């Protein structure tokens, strides 16, 4: 399934005549790349939300690159591990919070 979006605009030729502009795909990614990119973005968003929650209850969170994965075709990705430090005593649970 092609997920690229094609936009069409018009350009004016000399003499005031309009002609369609060349179609330009919005994305040069393949469908599998688009899917993988969405998964990474969604997981990163959830990780950032988790980090905010951890910081709000008195933890410091640092992400460190543990290693770099290479697929032997020139692509790579960093593998991360968290370093967690408690900077304040455990915060009491607020009403309605589960422990």
Q: So where are the chain's domains?
A: 24-86
What pLDDT does 82 receive? 96
The pTM score is 0.60
Over residues 21-34, the pLDDT tens digits come to: 666 567 788 999 99
Over residues 80-96, the pLDDT tens digits come to: 999 999 987 766 666 66
Average pLDDT over residues 17-22: 70
Over residues 35-83, the pLDDT tens digits come to: 999 999 999 999 999 999 999 999 999 999 999 999 999 999 999 999 9
What pLDDT does 6 receive? 44
What pLDDT does 87 receive? 81
Q: Which regions of 1-99 does DSSP assign to beta strands (E)?
A: 6-7, 10-12, 18-20, 24-25, 59-70, 76-86
Q: Burial, 82: exposed, middle or buried (Cβ in 10 Å; 0-12, 13-18, 19+)?
A: middle
Q: Are strands 6-7 and 24-25 parallel, antiparallel or unpaired?
A: antiparallel
CA atoms within 13 A on the CB side of 79: 5
Q: How confident is the model at residue 20 (pLDDT cuts 50, 70, 90)?
A: confident
């Amino acid at each position: 399934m092609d997920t690229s979006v094609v936009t069409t605009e018009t350009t004016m030729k000399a003499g005031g005549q309009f002609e369609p502009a060349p179609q330009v795909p919005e994305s040069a990614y393949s469908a599998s790349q688009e899917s993988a990119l969405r998964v990474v973005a969604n997981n990163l968003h959830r990780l950032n939300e988790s980090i905010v929650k951890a910081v709000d209850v008195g933890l410091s969170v640092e992400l460190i690159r543990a290693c770099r994965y290479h697929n032997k075709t020139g692509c790579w990705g960093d593998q991360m591990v968290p370093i967690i430090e408690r900077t304040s005593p455990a915060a009491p649970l607020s009403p309605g919070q589960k422990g």
